[in-house]
């Protein structure tokens, strides 16, 4: 029987793949305090919530009374998708371990494992393009030959730019190329969970309309996690990766090629995937504690979501889409519930803006 191949690692544990790349196995062998059980349960809730959102978007083709003049078209589909979760394996599942333990390296022992659909890696031509563009020249050949860099997923950082404002831009310059310091080139380079910042997207020629699609996908995901799944979305991750292969028939509708649109640009044909739910917690969407919880989770996460400090235009797209999707989710609730939940969503967005303003003011004053 062929060996599993390690394709990633995080605080919660290591991730392994089958040779045919159709499945991934996430082991609970990471840091203390991280729960694969919680990851699995939250993952299933997010799958269900996204299915509910998808059904709503099909049924509510036009919602003129709830959409502002700045909102995207009512029929605009979401690009967000999520890996199928197949099974939770425990150390007591002896039948599975008797067959599969030998597929891990020597010394590994049974533990909790999530068996899920593997997110397909970025294609070789796109990987080599990213290496040629961003890798230090002295290690390009080494990186292209590296086996680990086959496991490339792209983390879209719409909330951060690599370029840093100079003193002139802080004092009122328009922040053009002459007023920004270029990022320092690092000696280390890896394509695993490759961070692609908003200025890099601009540099690569990714259109603003594509960045809007990414933004709306994130807004849809966050709204449905807050108001369908009832969780804070703490520390979730978004990645850009290809759609699943058409021959894979074991997929849920959320990851089938004909159910969700794909984007084709310099990064190849891809979708936006959401993953990693082990840090998510329940929220109360009508309490001050719940409001503080979701604002904190948003700001502490890696900079996937747009922010006013990274792009005011994309932040407006995110804000409008988030509120609009919340309105879709609560459309059939009682009037009192709708008012309460939409107010919570509006206060969340305003709270993020206030925190961002405070941070920018501190940066200028320092």
**pLDDT tens track for 319-363:** 999 999 999 999 989 999 999 999 999 999 999 999 999 888 887
In this prediction, residue 249 carries a pLDDT of: 44
250 or 344, higher pLDDT: 344
Instruction: Give yes or no for residue 67 having a pLDDT over 50.
Output: no
Residue 286 has pLDDT above 70, yes or no: yes
Residue pair 266/204 in contact (Cβ under 8 Å)? The answer is yes
When comparing pLDDT for 18 and 235, which is higher?
235
25 with 161, same domain: the answer is no
Q: 287 and 323, same structural domain?
A: yes
Of residues 168 and 35, which shows the higher confidence score?
A: 35
50 and 173 both lie in a single domain: yes
For the chain, what is the mean pLDDT? 86
Same domain flag for 88 and 190: no
Question: In whole angstroms, what separates CA 83 from the centre of its chain?
Answer: 12
- Same domain for 282 and 318? yes
Domain end point (choices 73, 96, 117): 117
247: pLDDT confidence band, cut at 50, 70 and 90? low
Residue 60 lies in a domain: yes
| 255 pLDDT tier (thresholds 50, 70, 90) | very low
pTM of the complete model: 0.88
23 within some domain: yes
pLDDT greater than 90 at residue 171:
no
Q: Decide if pLDDT at 180 tops 60.
A: no
pLDDT at residue number 21: 75
**pLDDT tens digits for range 109-141:** 999 999 999 999 999 999 999 999 999 999 999
**Average pLDDT score over residue span 60-64:** 50
Could you tell me if residue 39 is inside a domain?
A: no
Residue 41 in domain: no
* pLDDT for position 187: 64
Is a pLDDT exceeding 70 seen at residue 60? no
pLDDT above 80: residue 240 = yes
Domain that holds residue 106: 1-34+84-117
Whether 40 is in a domain gets the answer no
Is 262 part of a structural domain of the chain?
A: yes
- Tell me: do 59 and 95 sit in the same domain: no
- Judgement on whether residues 103 and 211 belong to the same structural domain of the protein: no
For residue 18, the model assigns a pLDDT of 86
Question: Could you tell me if 93 and 160 lie in one domain?
Answer: no
Give the percent of the chain with pLDDT over 90. Answer: 69
Q: What is the pLDDT of residue 62?
A: 45
Domain boundary among 74, 99, 117: 117
Residue 103 sits in the same domain as residue 183: no
Which tokens is 349 given?
Answer: 């967005």
Q: How many CA atoms lie within 13 A of 130 on its CB side?
A: 25
Q: Is residue 168 part of a domain?
A: yes
Residue 100 lies in a domain: yes
Give the whole-number percent of the chain exceeding pLDDT 70: 84
- Domain boundary at 117, 133, 166, which? 117
Same-domain pairing of 23 and 70:
no
Closest CA to 41 of 361, 332, 293, 282: 282
User: Could you tell me if 334 and 324 lie in one domain?
Assistant: yes
Task: Using pLDDT thresholds of 50, 70 and 90, give the confidence band for residue 232.
Answer: very high
Q: What is the pLDDT of residue 61?
A: 52
Same-domain pairing of 210 and 153: yes
Domain count, the chain: 2
């Amino acid at each position: 029987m062929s060996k599993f191949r390690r394709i990633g690692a995080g605080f919660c544990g290591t991730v392994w793949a089958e040779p045919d790349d159709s499945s991934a196995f996430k082991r609970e062998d990471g840091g203390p305090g991280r729960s694969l059980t919680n990851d699995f349960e939250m993952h299933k809730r997010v799958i269900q919530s996204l299915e509910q959102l998808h059904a709503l978007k099909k049924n509510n083709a036009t919602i003129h009374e709830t959409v502002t003049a700045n909102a995207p078209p009512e029929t605009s589909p979401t690009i967000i998708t999520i890996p199928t979760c197949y099974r939770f394996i425990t150390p007591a599942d002896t039948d599975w371990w008797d067959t599969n333990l030998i597929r891990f390296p020597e010394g590994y022992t049974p533990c909790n494992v999530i068996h899920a659909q593997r997110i397909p890696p970025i294609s070789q031509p796109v990987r080599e393009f990213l290496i040629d563009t961003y890798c230090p020249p002295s290690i390009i050949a080494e990186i292209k030959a590296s086996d680990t860099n086959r496991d490339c997923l792209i983390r879209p950082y719409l909330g951060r730019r690599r370029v840093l404002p100079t003193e002139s831009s802080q004092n009122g310059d328009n922040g053009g190329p002459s007023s920004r310091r270029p990022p320092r080139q690092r000696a280390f380079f890896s394509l695993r969970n490759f961070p692609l910042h908003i200025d890099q997207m601009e540099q690569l020629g990714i259109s603003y309309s594509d960045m809007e699609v990414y933004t709306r996908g994130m807004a849809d995901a966050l709204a449905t996690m807050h108001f369908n799944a009832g969780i804070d979305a703490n520390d979730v991750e978004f990645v850009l990766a290809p759609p699943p292969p058409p021959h894979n028939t074991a997929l849920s509708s959320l990851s089938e090629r004909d159910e969700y649109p794909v984007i084709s640009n310099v990064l190849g044909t891809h979708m936006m995937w959401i993953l990693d739910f082990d840090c998510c917690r329940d929220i109360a969407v009508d309490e001050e504690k719940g409001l503080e919880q979701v604002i904190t989770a948003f700001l502490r996460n890696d900079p996937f979501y747009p922010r006013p400090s990274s792009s005011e235009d994309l932040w407006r797209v995110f804000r409008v889409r988030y509120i609009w999707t919340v309105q879709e989710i609560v459309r059939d609730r009682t009037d009192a519930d709708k008012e309460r939940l939409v107010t919570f969503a509006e206060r969340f967005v305003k709270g993020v803006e206030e925190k961002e303003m405070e941070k920018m003011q501190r940066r200028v004053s320092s």
